[in-house]
């Protein structure tokens, strides 16, 4: 294995092919804008310069490794070159960090502070370009902030394969534009370019001007949008920055969703559906237990459900494919011997939704079908006409197809008409309110953590199932 020297320290190159990769892998940070580990190398930002012994300064992203190669990452010529490049990049870049959504996450800010930190040399007025150009219903482009790193262009060509974006014109007039009057609405992975953009040029319409990133913190979670089980980060307000003068729900909102890199599942990407989890989890919640539509205390509803379970003859359970591994095991251990259980699809493809593709999106729009079917089989639901009790866990069940006269116990999290139709309705928590795990269609287990408080009157399904198995009148 070749050995090279970085800042006079010997390092193994491993399987890395460029100096930049070796440096980053061994803890030597080299600034970069256009380079990304999942994209092709273009070498157009010229900020990742290093000094090679005997050959001077060159860009690390496209410098091949070699036995005995000696590199300096912080020499005086290197720092001078980086400062000059940052002066050039900032020549026409607006210094509007105070209103830019990228402030706090902008690598241009960080590099300017570390390697430049000086006022602009030019006293000429900055050149102006297009502001707020609509790339899609989801994304707008500020060309004045764009540094032409081409990450977004390469993403649409190499990863999503939509080929929507390109560069037009040359020199001072060069800018990113959609190709042939197309829009990024044609790309189900388009929002990844917002993360890829190292500056504030590509802006999310849903997140724009919503919050400063230093007011937020991420919670690790799993996207429930399909059987892929992409790992994500749910961004919400930090406790120390909670708003006190507004509706408290503002402090509980999920303001944005970004990928949590996972080489085993989704790599560095997620689809646009995953970006919309804030709206999915923000639907109106069911927080009231019901008996035939009549509000009751949670303990009373649980006891009524117990009586139905104990008193019924033939019982069928429609098991949620959104239940966590822990909830599924709790149901199996507590109630599986009392029910004939079938796994149902809580969600199906929506109108206009991409059903499946070759990158991430799966046709099964449920996160835990794999684990549910491993416990309860994959047979289609077959509910005999003489069924006396149906336990419906989660969404997706058509109540009109259930046997006439059968009692229904419904466990749900959202406000739906079916809640009042059921003989007993018990409100249960959602994944943002508890710990748990999902198992992807490939058998990869990923964890999710809570980031919201469970509403009053709502119970975790994992806690509920043993209570339903207890004799009527037991303490809850």
The model's pLDDT over 383-409, given as tens digits with 9 standing for 90+, comes to 999 999 999 999 999 999 999 989 999
Place of tokens 């909670």: 242
Question: Using one digit for the tens of pLDDT, what is the confidence trace for 4-17?
Answer: 999 999 999 888 89
Are both 347 and 400 inside the same structural domain? yes
117 occurs within a structural domain: no
Domain at 137, CATH number: 3.30.70.20
181 occurs within a structural domain: yes
Are both 312 and 411 inside the same structural domain? yes
Domains in the chain, number: 4
Nearest to 112 by CA among 99, 98, 97: 97
Picking from 34, 64, 89, the residue at the C-terminal end of a domain is 89
Are both 163 and 64 inside the same structural domain? no
Cβ-proximal residues to 153 (8 Å cutoff; 6+ apart), any chain: 165, 166, 167, 176
112 occurs within a structural domain: no
Q: Is the pLDDT of residue 376 over 90?
A: yes
Q: Is the pLDDT of residue 429 over 70?
A: yes
Question: Using one digit for the tens of pLDDT, what is the confidence trace for 87-110?
Answer: 999 999 998 898 999 999 999 999
Mean pLDDT, residues 66-85: 94
Label each residue of the chain as H, E or C.
Answer: CCEEEECCEEEECCCCCEHHHHHHHCCCCCCCCCCCCCCCCCCCCCCCEEEECCCEEEEHHHCECCCCCEEECCCHHHHHHHHHHHHHHCCCCCCCHHHCCCCCCCHHHHHHHHHHCCCCCCCCCCCCCCCCEECCCCEEECCCCCCCCCHHHHHHHHCCCCCCEEEECCHHHCEEEECCCCCHHHCCCCCHHHHHCCCCCEEECCCCCCCCHHHEEEEEEECCCCCCCCEEEEEEECHHHCCCCCCHHHHCCCCEEEECCECCCCECCCCHHHHCHHHHHCCCECCCEEECCEEECHHHHHHHHHHHHHHCCCEEEEEECCCCHHHHHHHHHHHHHHCEEEEECCCCCCCCCCCCCCCCCCCCCCCCHHHHHHHHCCCCCCCCCCCCEEEEECCCCCHHHCCCCCEEEEEECECCHHHHHCCEEEEECCHHHCCEEEECCCCCEEEECCCCCCCCCCECHHHHHHHHHCCCCCCC
Picking from 176, 204, 232, the residue at the C-terminal end of a domain is 204
Are both 389 and 438 inside the same structural domain? yes
Asked if 400 contacts 333 with a C-beta cutoff of 8 angstroms, the reply is: no
Are both 67 and 156 inside the same structural domain? no
Are both 220 and 175 inside the same structural domain? no
Picking from 250, 281, 312, the residue at the C-terminal end of a domain is 281
**Residue 139: pLDDT band by 50, 70, 90 thresholds?**
very high
94 occurs within a structural domain: no
Nearest to 366 by CA among 395, 402, 335: 395
- Structural domain that includes position 173: 133-204
Domain at 266, CATH number: 2.20.25.90
Asked if 12 contacts 21 with a C-beta cutoff of 8 angstroms, the reply is: no
Are both 196 and 217 inside the same structural domain? no
109 occurs within a structural domain: no
Are both 231 and 254 inside the same structural domain? yes
Mean pLDDT, residues 210-223: 95
Q: Is the pLDDT of residue 476 over 90?
A: no
476 occurs within a structural domain: no
Residue 175, pLDDT score: 92
Are both 153 and 18 inside the same structural domain? no
Counting Cβ atoms within 10 Å, is residue 302 exposed (0-12), middle (13-18) or buried (19+)? buried
Are both 447 and 342 inside the same structural domain? yes
267 occurs within a structural domain: yes
Asked if 438 contacts 448 with a C-beta cutoff of 8 angstroms, the reply is: yes
Q: Is the pLDDT of residue 361 over 70?
A: yes
Are both 237 and 199 inside the same structural domain? no
Averaged pLDDT score across all residues of the chain: 94
Asked if 198 contacts 340 with a C-beta cutoff of 8 angstroms, the reply is: no
For residue 275, report the phi and psi dihedrals to the nearest 5 degrees.
-70, -20
363: left (phi over 0), alpha (psi -120 to 50) or beta: alpha
Nearest to 259 by CA among 211, 189, 312: 189
Q: Is the pLDDT of residue 176 over 80?
A: yes
C-alpha distance from residue 119 to each of 91, 122, 127, 139, 236 (Å): 10, 9, 17, 31, 35
Are both 293 and 338 inside the same structural domain? yes
64 occurs within a structural domain: yes
Q: Does 165 or 246 have the greater pLDDT score? A: 165
Place of tokens 């646009």: 272
Question: Using one digit for the tens of pLDDT, what is the confidence trace for 278-334?
Answer: 999 999 999 999 999 999 999 999 999 999 999 888 999 999 999 999 999 999 999
Domain at 373, CATH number: 3.40.50.740
Q: Is the pLDDT of residue 475 over 80?
A: no
Domain at 23, CATH number: 3.10.20.740
Residue 173, pLDDT score: 82
């Amino acid at each position: 294995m070749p050995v090279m020297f970085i800042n006079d320290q010997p390092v193994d190159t491993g399987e890395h092919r460029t100096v930049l990769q070796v440096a980053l892998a061994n803890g030597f940070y080299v600034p970069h804008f256009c380079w990304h580990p999942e994209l092709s190398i273009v070498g157009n930002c010229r900020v990742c310069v290093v000094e090679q012994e005997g050959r001077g300064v060159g860009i690390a992203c496209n410098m091949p490794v070699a036995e005995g190669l000696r590199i300096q990452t912080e020499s005086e010529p290197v720092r001078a070159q980086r400062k000059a490049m940052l002066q050039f990049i900032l020549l026409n870049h607006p210094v509007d960090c105070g209103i830019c959504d990228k402030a706090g996450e902008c690598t241009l800010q960080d590099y300017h502070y570390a390697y430049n930190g000086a006022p602009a040399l030019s006293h000429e007025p900055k050149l102006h370009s297009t502001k707020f150009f609509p790339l899609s219903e989801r994304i707008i482009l500020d060309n004045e902030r764009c540094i032409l790193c081409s990450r977004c262009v390469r993403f649409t060509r190499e990863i999503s394969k939509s080929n929507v974006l390109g560069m037009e014109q040359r020199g001072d007039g060069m800018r990113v534009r959609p190709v042939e009057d197309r829009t990024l609405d044609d790309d189900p992975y388009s929002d990844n370019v917002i993360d890829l953009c190292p500056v504030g040029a590509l802006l999310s319409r849903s997140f724009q001007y919503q919050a400063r990133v230093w007011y937020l913190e991420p919670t690790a979670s799993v996207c429930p949008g399909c059987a892929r089980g992409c790992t994500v980060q749910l961004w919400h307000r930090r406790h120390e920055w909670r708003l006190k003068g507004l509706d408290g729900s503002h402090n509980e909102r999920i303001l944005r969703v970004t990928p949590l890199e996972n080489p085993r599942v989704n790599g560095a990407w997620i689809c646009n559906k995953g970006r919309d989890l804030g709206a999915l989890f923000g639907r109106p919640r069911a927080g009231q237990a019901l008996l035939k539509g009549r509000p009751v205390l949670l303990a009373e509803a649980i006891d009524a459900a117990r009586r139905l379970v104990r008193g019924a003859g033939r019982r069928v359970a429609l098991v949620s494919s959104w239940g966590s591994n822990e909830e599924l095991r709790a149901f199996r251990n507590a109630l599986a011997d009392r029910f004939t259980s079938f796994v149902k699809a809580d969600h199906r493809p929506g109108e206009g939704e991409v059903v499946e593709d070759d990158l991430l999106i799966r046709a099964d729009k449920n996160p835990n079908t794999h684990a549910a079917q491993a416990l309860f089989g994959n047979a289609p639901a077959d509910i005999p006409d003489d069924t006396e009790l149906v336990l419906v866990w989660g969404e997706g069940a058509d109540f009109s197809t259930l046997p006439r006269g059968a009692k229904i116990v419904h466990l749900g999290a959202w406000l739906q008409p079916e809640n009042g139709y059921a003989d007993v309705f018990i409100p249960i928590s959602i994944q943002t309110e508890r710990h748990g795990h999902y198992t992807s269609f490939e058998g990869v287990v990923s964890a999710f953590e809570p980031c919201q408080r469970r509403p009053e009157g709502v119970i975790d399904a994992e806690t509920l199932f043993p209570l339903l198995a207890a004799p009527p009148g037991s303490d809850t």
